A and B are shown apart, each in its own frame.
Chain A
Amino acid sequence: AQSVAQPEDQVNVAEGNPLTVKCTYSVSGNPYLFWYVQYPNRGLQFLLKYITGDNLVKGSYGFEAEFNKSQTSFHLKKPSALVSDSALYFCAVRSNAGNNRKLIWGLGTSLAVNP
């Protein structure tokens, strides 16, 4: 069965420090991986995706994520956090195998960046 795990409900970092939001997945076949962000009282916004190719993917707002096939991970990173990055972050995955077209979503990680 396909699944996504975001092992941390909450991540706290100081402004200017690097941040990491973790995501691991389980799929049959090759994964398509996505990160979305949900700011308070706003809709979900696409950040970045991994489909194929370079394992390091760069996205919006200075975020990047690294696909690690051996560890089945797709952690979200940013070298220097901003207070405005405080939001809820969701990882999502699906497999390129089979006819299942649904994305499987993690439960989200709340990121708090402290000034």
Chain B
Amino acid sequence: GAGVSQSPSNKVTEKGKDVELRCDPISGHTALYWYRQSLGQGLEFLIYFQGNSAPDKSGLPSDRFSAERTGGSVSTLTIQRTQQEDSAVYLCASSSSGTETYEQYFGPGTRLTVT
């Protein structure tokens, strides 16, 4: 079946512009996660959606970052007034449940470059 998809695969933007990154999770997966991976670094948790519950936004680095999940499926991560330090690969993952015994399935990521 189809895996997690993300778009665009690459995004180059100028400092100060807003960007939107899209994630399509695996159909039926109730949990969705956004991470950021900088070059040579591990995964940095950003935000977590589980069903209709309020999202866990504790990992968002600043108020320039926000995310939505519409209809319990597609999610959009928005970065306003981008800065050079926002350059990274943004990864989306989904799992079939919000419980932690279920593994997360990752998309290929969006490579964001802020010039």
Q: Do A and B come from one complex?
A: yes
Task: Write out the residue numbers on chain B whose beta carbons fall within 8 Å of the beta carbon of A96.
Answer: 100
Assign chain A's interface to a size class: 20 to 34
Chain B residues with CB under 8 Å of chain A are 4, 41-43, 45, 48, 50, 56, 58-59, 91, 93, 98, 100-101, 103-109
Nearest CB in chain A to that of B109: its residue: A43
Which of the candidate stretches A17-25, A73-81, A99-107 sits at the interface with the other chain? A99-107
A96 to B, closest residue via Cβ: B100
- Chain B nearest Cβ from A90, distance in angstroms: 7
Cross-chain contact A102 with B105 (CB below 8 angstroms): no
Residues in chain B near residue A46, CB distance under 8 A = 103-105
Between A and B, 21 residue pairs with Cβ closer than 8 Å are A34-B103, A43-B91, A43-B106, A43-B109, A44-B43, A44-B91, A44-B93, A44-B106, A45-B106, A46-B105, A49-B101, A90-B42, A92-B43, A94-B100, A101-B48, A102-B45, A102-B58, A102-B59, A105-B45, A106-B42, A107-B41
